[in-house]
A and B are shown apart, each in its own frame.
Chain A
């Protein structure tokens, strides 16, 4: 096990972590401000990936595709907010789960209808399709580093948005008290649509960026959605800081678990079995992490007062 391999795995976990953060940030923002649990967040991720892949394929430019993906996800978000979500804010969580679960079915079939059943492929932009040498030997794909960069930019951008802008002030007010923002003279419907569209755009960003690393297919958002849930449960639902810490933790545990657990088992077991058990335990590791965190702090690491 070389230092370069370990370093590479650390970068991988960081890349997974920041993407989970971008996903989880939208989810937790919407929950924090509107009290809504949105299962269809993974569908918005899928919408971002599909539009990015489609437009990039038509225009030949990844960046135009990325912009299209962001716009499409934000627009889809704004539309479902106005048609469906705003009827759900005052409902209980069960209704929210079911309604947004229905949206997943609609989005999945709708996407299949529009784009066909075959996966799309999104190429990494040529300028980024190289490797950067790592200290200690070996290389690391530049594109993955760019993803990490996007994640960091998102974190900084959200921080500035929420702490420095007028919109951020309204968001913070909305988290503590719905009547209060009404009293501030803000149109609450517009604010909610805007917040939801921002969350959707973040999901679309994650989908488009990750879409270039894997195939763009129906249902691609669902495993990510569940990971994002694990992230915000660990971090404390409604807390963006919690989402950041949670995402990094989950990224580390998941990536390192997959990279190293089977080697750990190999110390005691024959290789075939070690691989099997290693893979099984690795796939469970983040859920075990979640269970441990919750047994210790039932409201996550950074509980938000409800």
Chain B
């Protein structure tokens, strides 16, 4: 019970800290840090998505950049068309561009979900190291597709000139944009908590521990895992859409396998299967990038050494270190 309390307190602290940074930055007029905080929230959201598949379902997806990037492209391409006043598609359906935030989010969720269903359906036929490599390879496929298709500038990417319209809010205000990202992040964590605690979550966690056991009691693991994989990808896809809006730019770099690795790092640094872990992981990552990156261009060398140390010697990540062992009952 004490341990449980400790993790709850820690989680509240993590969430409040992330909220405090942009408020302080706004108060002292250091607006750059508002953007940094938005970045953390968005990357953490991507991690929350992956955590559902990896932390709770045991599916080591090394291709989540695909969903992040697809979400980003869905949003970016539609708003590009809206800006140009052209249609995304005329046949067989007429799909116009859009500058409505909700439409962009919907498109990101839809595209990443549908592609995840296809990739997952094939990849989940395999297990272990095959699954890792296949998810990686499918993500590379989408990356090369984005690079070689000339329609949206291939490797150079697309600039987006305006943030989208969310009724009642002005997203071009950086602080407002942060609040929206932050709200979506907490919503995604809340959804994860509900899902993992539900009957579906119980089956998912059993699939991670012992697939054989799940089959033996009459629950087929495949649909359970596929469903979790798709949900996971959709959350990460939504993060991609936010990321593109934050940067005002979409390019194949958000589909690269380095990003897949980084999303995984957020989850691991924070603690696998910890609901708030991805926030800690993403924040640490950005802090390292900002602080060490301020001294030397070689910050990735230090990141590599730190990460290697965490993997070799501090399994359970930061939340595990601070809150003790995870409770399972």
Contacts and interface: CB of A to CB of B under 8 A. Distances in A.
Interface of A: 31, 37, 84, 87-88, 93-95, 97-99, 101-106, 108-110, 112-113, 222, 226, 229-230, 232-233, 237, 276, 279-280, 282-284, 287-288, 290-291, 294-295, 298-300
Chain A at the B interface: SS class: helix
Contacts of A276: 148-151
27 contacts: A37-B133, A84-B308, A93-B128, A95-B311, A98-B307, A99-B312, A101-B307, A102-B303, A102-B307, A105-B304, A106-B304, A113-B298, A222-B257, A226-B136, A229-B137, A230-B137, A233-B133, A280-B145, A280-B148, A283-B148, A287-B138, A287-B140, A287-B141, A294-B125, A294-B126, A294-B130, A295-B125
A94 B135 CA distance: 13
Nearest to B140: A226
B301 A299 contact: no
Contact of A108 (B125, B147, B265, B300): B300
Contacts of B301: 105-106, 109-110, 113
B129 interface: yes
Contacts of A226: 136-137, 140, 257
Contacts of B148: 276, 279-280, 282-283
A134 B272 CA distance: 57
Given A84-B312, A109-B300, A229-B133, 7 more contacts: A88-B312, A94-B268, A105-B301, A230-B133, A237-B130, A280-B149, A291-B138
Contacts of B125: 294-295, 298
A109 B148 CA distance: 28
A287 B311 CA distance: 30
B43 interface: no
A97 B122 contact: no
Identify which of A101, A103, A109 gathers the most chain B CB atoms within 10 Å of its CB.
A101
Given A95-B311, A97-B62, A37 B132 contact: yes
A97 B265 contact: no
Nearest to A222: B257
A233 B265 contact: no
A99 to B, nearest CB: 5
A233 B137 CA distance: 10
B315 interface: yes
